Amino acid sequence: MAPRSGERRASARRGGRRGAGRSGESTDGRIRLLRVLAVAAFLLVGGRAIALASSSSDLTSIAAGQQRSTHTLPAHRGTIFDRDGHELAVGELRQTVYATPYLIEDAYAAAGDLCRVLRIHSAAEQQRIVKVLSDRDSGFVFVARKVPPAFADRAVDLGIPGVGSYPEEKRVYPMRGVGAQVVGFAGLDNTGLAGVEMMCEEALHGSDGVETVLRDPSGRTLKVLQDRPSVPGASVRLTIDADIQLTAEDVLRRTVSRFGAKSGTAVVLDPQSGEVLAMVNVPMVADNVFGQQPAYERNRAVTDAYEPGSIFKVVTIAGALSDGLTTPKRKYRLAPTIKVADRVIHEAHARGTVTYTTREILVHSSNVGAVTIGIDMGKEGLTKWVKEFGFGEKTGIDFPGEAAGIVPERWSGSTIGNLPMGQGIAVTPLQMASAFAVLANHGVWVKPHLVAQTGTHEASEPDQRRVVSVRVARQMMSMLTDAVAEGTGTEAQIPGYKVAGKTGTAQKPLPDGSGYSTYAYVASFVGMVPAGHPRLVVLVAIDEPHPIWGGVVAAPAVKEIATFALTHLEIAP
């Protein structure tokens, strides 16, 4: 039976409501999904913004680091002069070429162009430049240090991004190695590494400055942000006389070559002022280029000790005169040899039994005579005078690395036979020259020194002390004058001048300490001139010459050096 019309209408209304409900549910789901997506997008964008904001300071720092660079402004290094103002060491203006590798696209091409204009031909150096320019993480590398300014200008003119230059000084030595072991040298960074350069580093170096520079991406300077100027170093004036130094070096070089020796040392000293006028070491250091012959790069006149031999007899005899144990005219009957403990001591040249005065013992350099006087003095007396003359202690000269020498502390039975004639004790050439300067300066020791002035400040007066009396000093000078006039030092005579001096021919001890060499000697001579009023003390010591005699090898060298110095300083006969 068919429904009635009213029922059909009610049923239709109920069906419509059910369809509308299903449609509304679908719409609500889409809206919720859109809301979720919107929130997610917001969170994503916001998180990214926060991340960017948090890293902005780092990015700014990186950018600033790429544009700014801080450099040291090296101070002008002070000049080293000789006593008369000749330049021994000076700073010369150069340029240092640098690069910013992360700005360079083709390291190989850039390195090739830079090596070409900088005239770098070394394969190893070319490879180094390629390597540093290829380091993309680096913001600064050296291409070439201290090149001529014209070379640096050509490198910058290549227009390679990040390549620039700044001024630096190169230490140069205008006299091409004169006094090299005394002057020393300064390294690549202008820091003193040896000699006066090292000793006076604080004064010579000055105070470095600083600058911070802002550059564009191509390396061009836009602005100097900070600038602390450098303060130049002070100059240093030495007591060295370049003319005497040059002459002494020439004489010593020829002497070492002529006699086939290993090396030589010379000292020229003013006995009244203590000023060192020359200090020479051969082999020399050419052009102050150190690092090639380390064994000969020391200033051996100060740093190395040797057994002096017969020149030490002046200490023995001066001490005996001072203690009243002998006089210049006292006579000694001397056999050809003398036995001390287990050792028999001979003369340098065979002779029979003689009678010598103290004067003749010194004039003829008698070993037996010196030992006889030393035995009279005894251990206590000898030790006292060794110390009085300054042996076993540094002189205090203003130079690094000075040696004190070696004085025997434990005596054996034969020490009393060795020491009086200069064996069993080690001295530096400077100590030996200073001991002779005592006699030349009326018995007064004056501290030797090398620096006369630093900046505007002149060196203070050197320390002085009396060692022997004026009377003893005069007696010794008279005897040493005879030693040159008629004894072992005749080869040191200078026409028109009286010369006082003493020869030395010292056996070298064996390396194992078992005794003395039968063929290796040090030949030496110390001269004082003019003998009546000495202005110069000149010492020359030659290591392992052939022949071995100090009077033959070293005395002529002293004569030649002293002759020039007397004329140069206008010292009258």
Q: What is the DSSP letter of 82?
A: -
Name the active-site residue from 310, 322, 434, 524: 310
Q: Quick check: 120 and 169 in contact, CB under 8 A?
A: no
Question: Closest Cα to residue 557, out of 572, 538, 571, 544?
Answer: 538
Q: What is the DSSP secondary-structure string of 89-152?
A: EEEEEEEEEEE-GGG-S-HHHHHHHHHHHHT---HHHHHHHHHHHT-TT-S-EEEEEEE-HHHH
Helix axes 149-156, 107-118, angle to 10 degrees: 150
Residues 265/300, Cβ–Cβ less than 8 Å: yes
- Say which residues have a Cβ less than 8 Å from residue 132's Cβ, sequence separation at least 6: 99, 101, 138, 141, 142, 143
b/e map of 311-339 (b: 16 or more CB within 10 Å)? bbbbbbbbbbbbeebbebeeebebeeebe
Is 310 considered catalytic here? yes
**DSSP codes of every residue in 413-473:** TTHHHHGGGT-S-BB-HHHHHHHHHHHHTTTEEE--BSEEEETTEEPPPPPEEE-S-HHHH
The enclosing H or E element of 23 equals helix 5-67
Q: Tell me the helices (H) and strands (E) count for the chain, helix number first.
A: 16, 23
Among 368, 372, 362, 313, residue whose Cα is nearest residue 488? 362
Give the C-alpha separation, 430 to 395, whole Å: 8
- Return the amino acid letter for 423: Q
Residue whose token pair is 């009546």: 532
Residues 520, 459: contact at Cβ < 8 Å? no
Instruction: Provide φ and ψ at 397, rounded to 5°.
Output: -60, 145
* Catalytic sites, residue numbers: 310
